[in-house]
Amino acid sequence: MSRISKRKKGDGGRGSITILVLGDEGAGKSSLVSTFVSRHFSERVPGVMTRVRLPITSGSSEGRGGSYVTTIVDTQNGDATLAAVASTAVPSEPVDAIVLVYDLDRPSTFQRLESHWLPLIERCYSPPAVTETPNSIGGPEISDYNKIPPVIIAGNKLDLSLASPAHEDARLDRQQIVALLGRFKFVRQCIKTSAKTLLNVNDIFDKAQQAVLYPIGPLFDLTEGKMTDNCCKAFTRIFRMFDEDKDGLLNDLELGTFQNYFFKKAIHANKLTWWKKVLSKKPLDNDEVYIQDDKFTVAGFLTIIEMFMLKEFFDVPWRVLRHFGYDDDLNLYVPDWVVSPSSKIKGSDESQWSLSASAVEFLESLFTQFDSNNDGELTEDDIKRIFSIVPHPSLPPWHPTRTKDMFEGCFSVPCLDWYKKLFLSPPSSIGSVSSDEHAGVTILSSHDTSGARPDDMPDSVSSPTMTPASTPPESLIHPPLKFVDWSTYWFMVSSINPVKTRMELYRLGYDNKMNAKQSLSRAIRIKIFGSSQSGKTALLNALVGANKDPLDTEESGHPETRCTHVYAPSARLVNVGSKAEKNLGDELIHMIFTEVPEVASTGPEAVANCELAMLVFDCNDERSYEYVHTLEERLSEDMPRVFIGTKKDTISAALKSDEEEGSSTGRRSVLVAAQIHCEELDLEPPTLTSVASGVEAEKYLTYIALCAVGDLRSKPYAAQKRKEALWRRRMLWLSVGGISLVGVAAVGYFWRGEKRFESILRSFKNLFGRGESSDGVTIPVGRIP
């Protein structure tokens, strides 16, 4: 817990630090305060100095913003004062640090530190539950040292003590102090001072201030005697940011950059050797390696930082942390460029949902770094390590325990089959995989769908690890992830909540410095509309690789997002040397599907923010077609769309009997209406699917991808609009050409002489009847009637 951040901030973001001066009678408390303020020792000081407010000190050059007013509160009979300030749950003026004074010339005052003052401070700030431990020396151990304000012990009257015989046993003195520091871990420092000679007086109050500005608590757990978890996370993130080559180790150059960045001086080679020697001699904690291949591991780097802390250099780690945007409670401040990369773009959050090329490259570097066995898959342990640096729960953003935090208030939530299986269904339901044997797609015209690829596609989303549903949701259960799955998941969460996704990437160490030239893949967002029971979920199950019977669906009233990917043939520009050339090759397309149930389709956001609308209707159901037909009117004119009829298997028999009977039924009229509608709008004809008979998923996904990227006719009247645009362009050129000709002709006239011009002018004037009077007087043009 940070003390100063909890304090009331005054105007202009100003904070205040209160230092309480305690100690035995006559130890020199008031003299120290008086000398500190006046830079002069006075033999006669008041019993209690009035409160001293020090001039505002800037919050330091060490990256701490704001400025601070320091108040020093002197005491007499400090027991009562301490009890008063510490007992109130919300004190009006909380104490931030304590200066505890003893008299070096009176050893009894030193004994009183251990027997009275320090236990008193401990008691005043200790929680009610006090635990006895067998090892406790001199009284019960309290369970949490971190709540006690930092204490600076001032051994005063050094001038007298140096002259006295008691001083001879300085060694004993030191031993006693070390024992005291060991027992009372909230004591930050012991400093010998003399109010009379002004020796170390400034130091006492400076250290007290620093103890507040650079608090131990958030960085180092005094009770446990080690770095806090949050501090480890923060420095591990910083480690990753300096690990330029992303090999999970800091080499000499990378550590040198770190040192140079913060201390503005290079690290000497012998210093590096010294650190390596020290670390390699250090006993291993939990089999951690500190140095590997002559480079520093994360554990090694953290140990160096911890060593600074053990030597009481808390300003060093704080300076680094504050530079990287950590506040006093080690919460990471996320800068504006992450939250809203371009405020100029209207609705930037949604329109910038897709991950940038550099973000994809960052994700790739994470993947490569943490794929521990280099088998092209992230195991559950690898995933755990990646997310170990994000705040609790340190899990991927698509994990169900993070749904509330990540996606509350968003249009849709992620829907991952394997999570549903693991956490929601009984284990017995795990198993059957749909068969894709038959091509379940019929297209209602002979239009060529040559974009669809044969069946030799790479594997889609990998199979989940089968784990019983009783597993607690907090624990990370994750199927292994190939890189393509890993990036698809990221595109999915980014489509649902782009801001939080960018923040998550930032927390993982992404800093936008990567200079990716061109994204190797693209992502498209597709919304699936259809009336209730029209077969949306079943179709998606068949396409997105659900490991269950695709027809086994549940009704959902909330939009859900799923993802998959496909390699689709696509023409794109590639750089060949200095030239850009068109290349026809397979492009990885991440496909993010959001199923919009009928009940959730009324708002404007339902029909916005996607690259393709899949309009799904039940071939047997007129109302179902009417529904998508009406919904289509709400789509923006340029939104690509594709009509899909479902449950083809159920209509074929019925249509046959209709034909035999010669009757025109609703079924036929639905199909005909859909076909005519698409023809009228110059769209791809509707496709008919049957999940029951099986859908050739990859072929169909390719078809949808090509509709989304505009390689197929998915925008209404696209061809006509293109022709019109071409015609407009031609007309524009013609008119530009015409105007230019007229211009050239006019200039020509000028060049051919004033005489001719004048004669023309005259003829114009004559035309008006009164251009120039016969005696040569020019009539102003404005007066010409």
Ligand X SMILES: Nc1nc2c(ncn2[C@@H]2O[C@H](COP(=O)(O)OP(=O)(O)OP(=O)(O)O)[C@@H](O)[C@H]2O)c(=O)[nH]1
Q: Give the footprint of ligand X on this chain (CB under 6 A).
A: 23, 25-31, 43, 45, 47, 76, 156-157, 159-160, 194-196
701 contacts 634 by C-beta, under 8 angstroms: no
Give residue number: closest CB to Mg ion.
Answer: 30
Q: List all residues 6 or more positions away from 196 whose beta carbon is below 8 Å from its beta carbon.
A: 31, 35, 41, 157, 159
Q: Which residue has the tokens 């996370």?
A: 233
Considering the complex, state which of residue 163 and residue 676 has its C-beta at the smaller distance from ligand X: 163
| C-alpha–C-alpha distance, residues 479 and 465, integer Å | 5
| C-alpha–C-alpha distance, residues 37 and 72, integer Å | 10
Cross-strand bridge partners of residue 584: 571
Stretch near Mg ion under the rule CB under 5 A, chosen from 25-33, 193-201, 235-243, 498-506: 25-33
Q: Which residue has the tokens 């051919």?
A: 752
Q: What type of residue is 290?
A: Y
Stretch near Mg ion under the rule CB under 5 A, chosen from 23-31, 65-73, 218-226, 416-424: 23-31
Tell me how far, at minimum, the Cβ of 189 lies from Mg ion, in Å.
22
Considering the complex, state which of residue 36 and residue 418 has its C-beta at the smaller distance from ligand X: 36
Lookup: tokens for 178: 């070390």
Q: Which does 338 bind (CB under 5 to 8 A by kind): ligand X, Mg ion, none?
A: none
Considering the complex, state which of residue 77 and residue 260 has its C-beta at the smaller distance from Mg ion: 77
| C-alpha–C-alpha distance, residues 16 and 8, integer Å | 8
Stretch near Mg ion under the rule CB under 5 A, chosen from 41-49, 172-180, 663-671, 772-780: 41-49
Q: What type of residue is 635?
A: L
613 contacts 641 by C-beta, under 8 angstroms: yes
Neighbours of 680 (CB within 10 A): 10
Lookup: tokens for 723: 């022709």
Q: What are the φ and ψ backbone dihedral angles of 57, each rounded to 5 degrees?
A: -105, 135
Q: How many CA atoms lie within 13 A of 445 on its CB side?
A: 14
- Alpha carbon distance, N-terminus to C-terminus of the chain: 88
Q: Which does 70 bind (CB under 5 to 8 A by kind): ligand X, Mg ion, none?
A: none
Q: What type of residue is 776?
A: G
Stretch near Mg ion under the rule CB under 5 A, chosen from 46-54, 365-373, 438-446, 647-655: 46-54
Considering the complex, state which of residue 46 and residue 182 has its C-beta at the smaller distance from Mg ion: 46
Lookup: tokens for 615: 């309009």
Query: DSSP readout, 524-547?
Result: EEEEEEE-TTSSHHHHHHHHHT-S
Return the DSSP state at 778.
B
Q: Which does 31 bind (CB under 5 to 8 A by kind): ligand X, Mg ion, none?
A: ligand X
Q: Does 31 bind Mg ion (CB under 5 A)?
A: no
Instruction: Tell me if residue 296 falls in helix, strand or coil.
Output: strand
Helix axes 229-242, 298-310, angle to 10 degrees: 120
Neighbours of 146 (CB within 10 A): 18
Residue 530, Cβ density class (10 Å: 0-12 exposed, 13-18 middle, ≥19 buried)? buried
Stretch near Mg ion under the rule CB under 5 A, chosen from 29-37, 108-116, 141-149, 776-784: 29-37
Q: Which does 681 bind (CB under 5 to 8 A by kind): Mg ion, ligand X, none?
A: none
Tell me how far, at minimum, the Cβ of 125 lies from ligand X, in Å.
22
Tell me how far, at minimum, the Cβ of 151 lies from ligand X, in Å.
16
113 contacts 173 by C-beta, under 8 angstroms: no
Considering the complex, state which of residue 73 and residue 321 has its C-beta at the smaller distance from ligand X: 73
Considering the complex, state which of residue 48 and residue 654 has its C-beta at the smaller distance from Mg ion: 48
Considering the complex, state which of residue 78 and residue 464 has its C-beta at the smaller distance from ligand X: 78
Tell me how far, at minimum, the Cβ of 175 lies from ligand X, in Å.
24
Tell me how far, at minimum, the Cβ of 38 lies from ligand X, in Å.
13
Tell me how far, at minimum, the Cβ of 214 lies from ligand X, in Å.
28
Q: Which does 317 bind (CB under 5 to 8 A by kind): ligand X, Mg ion, none?
A: none
Q: Which does 28 bind (CB under 5 to 8 A by kind): Mg ion, ligand X, none?
A: ligand X
Considering the complex, state which of residue 100 and residue 452 has its C-beta at the smaller distance from ligand X: 100
Q: Which does 156 bind (CB under 5 to 8 A by kind): ligand X, Mg ion, none?
A: ligand X
591 contacts 563 by C-beta, under 8 angstroms: yes
* DSSP H/E element including 434: none
Tell me how far, at minimum, the Cβ of 111 lies from ligand X, in Å.
17
Q: What are the φ and ψ backbone dihedral angles of 578, each rounded to 5 degrees?
A: -90, -5
Stretch near Mg ion under the rule CB under 5 A, chosen from 43-51, 126-134, 353-361, 741-749: 43-51
113 contacts 168 by C-beta, under 8 angstroms: no
Considering the complex, state which of residue 22 and residue 250 has its C-beta at the smaller distance from Mg ion: 22
Considering the complex, state which of residue 46 and residue 431 has its C-beta at the smaller distance from ligand X: 46
Considering the complex, state which of residue 101 and residue 631 has its C-beta at the smaller distance from ligand X: 101
Stretch near Mg ion under the rule CB under 5 A, chosen from 45-53, 171-179, 299-307, 760-768: 45-53
Q: Which does 299 bind (CB under 5 to 8 A by kind): Mg ion, ligand X, none?
A: none
593 contacts 561 by C-beta, under 8 angstroms: yes
Q: How many residues bind Mg ion (CB under 5 A)?
A: 2
Site for Mg ion in 261-320 (CB under 5 A): none
Among 3, 24, 28, 30, binds Mg ion (CB under 5 A): 30
Instruction: Tell me if residue 644 falls in helix, strand or coil.
Output: strand
Tell me how far, at minimum, the Cβ of 116 lies from ligand X, in Å.
14
Tell me how far, at minimum, the Cβ of 76 lies from ligand X, in Å.
4
Considering the complex, state which of residue 31 and residue 594 has its C-beta at the smaller distance from ligand X: 31
Considering the complex, state which of residue 47 and residue 182 has its C-beta at the smaller distance from ligand X: 47
Neighbours of 361 (CB within 10 A): 18
Q: Which does 185 bind (CB under 5 to 8 A by kind): ligand X, Mg ion, none?
A: none
Q: What are the φ and ψ backbone dihedral angles of 584, each rounded to 5 degrees?
A: -100, 110
By CB under 5 A, name the binding residues for Mg ion: 30, 47
